[in-house]
Amino acid sequence: MRTCHRCGHPWESEKKVPGVKEFCEQCSAYLHCCLNCRFHDPSAHNQCAIPTTDWVGDRAGANFCDEFEFRDTRAEKASSDESTATRRKLDSLFGEASDAAPPDQLDTFKNLFND
């Protein structure tokens, strides 16, 4: 589902991408902006997964980027759910970080290296 980056209001249109000056009906935020693009990555150079894009000073403002593709929030949610499930599996395999070794095992371990 394509939604506004600011308020989460769904964008429904027959078009693949919103027009450059198109805005959200709910909050009036620009829709054709970096924050709604699937390539927006704050940790990447130029904050974009495509290294050849031009610098954009206002990520929430309208821009003319030819690489713009509307971000699909369903795909992001599925990815987030998958990473949470993977984290739970990993924790169950190695145990929770809060699980401490029983005192008798810890003492036995410490005694191995004491003279």
CA 49 to chain centre: 13
Q: Give residue-wise pLDDT tens across range 60-100.
A: 999 999 899 998 876 555 555 677 777 788 778 777 655 55
Q: Give residue-wise pLDDT tens across range 32-49.
A: 999 999 999 999 888 999
Reading the block at residue 2, the tokens are 């394509």
Asked whether 64 and 55 are in contact (CB, 8 A), the reply is no
Asked whether 10 and 1 are in contact (CB, 8 A), the reply is yes
Q: Give residue-wise pLDDT tens across range 20-30.
A: 899 898 899 99
Predicted local distance difference test score (pLDDT) of residue 35: 92
User: Bigger pLDDT: 61 or 13?
Assistant: 61
For residue 33, which of 12, 2, 77 has the smallest C-alpha distance? 2
